[in-house]
Amino acid sequence: MAIVDTLQPESYALPMQPSTEKILIDQARDGRDHACTQLVEAHSEKIIGLAWRLVGQRDVAEEIAQEAFLRFFQSIHTFRGESTVGTWLYRTTTRLAIDHLRRERLKRKIFFFKGRDPDLPDPVETYPDSSGNPQENLVAAETGARMQQVLERLPARQKAVFVLRHMEQLSLKEIAATLDLELGTVKAHLHRAVNQFRREYEAGEKE
């Protein structure tokens, strides 16, 4: 019996050892469903949480996470282990979320363009149910909705950099690797995002 077969699913709520992850990847390549399931269980909560922070909607976040896992398993035979599975999923999830945000912004601009000042901020959706809200440790519940509204107005890449830095606690180098950007570009995006966030958040408090 392989080592991984003796482990219970709840074990994977903890950080996975590289040796265990390699075993699971090899087994998943061989088409063993339990290995795929355990890899998903190991990362799904964190990946869905990341997507939720980026897009602000639970159902969309789950769809993005599902697509990230699907892409991973489709490419598992070429996965060389140069990064961990978690890092690969983080990178893919962030890029999928950025693509989604850009599509949604374009849709809103097209829909609201007629008879509307294009320089006005895009309309924002109602903040999701706060139960289990992944931002609850960052802000008090009563300010969460306003914070999400401000985040929604940031350009997609600036929002991603802001979320990865201030909510996911990634270093600037990790963000650069995740988004495939130069370190200086990440710093510039973060600087602009923080400044815009502060301006709009403070303006909202004065209304």
Reduce the secondary structure of the chain to three states and give it as a string. CCHHHHCCHHHHHCCCCHHHHHHHHHHHHCCCHHHHHHHHHHHHHHHHHHHHHHHCCHHHHHHHHHHHHHHHHHCHHHCCCCCCHHHHHHHHHHHHHHHHHHHHHHHHHHHHCCCCCCCCCCCCCCCCCCCCCCCCCCCCHHHHHHHHHHHHCCCHHHHHHHHHHHCCCCCHHHHHHHHCCCHHHHHHHHHHHHHHHHHHHHHHHHC
Q: Per residue in 161-171, is it b (16+ CB within 10 Å) or e — as a string?
A: bbbbbebbebe
pLDDT tens by residue, 144-203: 667 777 788 889 999 999 989 988 889 999 999 888 899 999 999 999 988 888 887 777
Residue range 93-115: mean pLDDT, rounded: 73
Q: How far apart are CA 168 and CA 139, in angstroms?
A: 14
In this predicted structure, what is the pLDDT of residue 190? 92
The better pLDDT of the pair 13, 105 is held by 105
The better pLDDT of the pair 130, 15 is held by 15
- Residue 49, pLDDT > 60, answer yes
**pLDDT band, residue 91 (cuts 50/70/90):** very high
What are the chain's domains?
Answer: 12-206 (1.10.1740.10)
In this predicted structure, what is the pLDDT of residue 121? 44
Residue range 13-31: mean pLDDT, rounded: 80
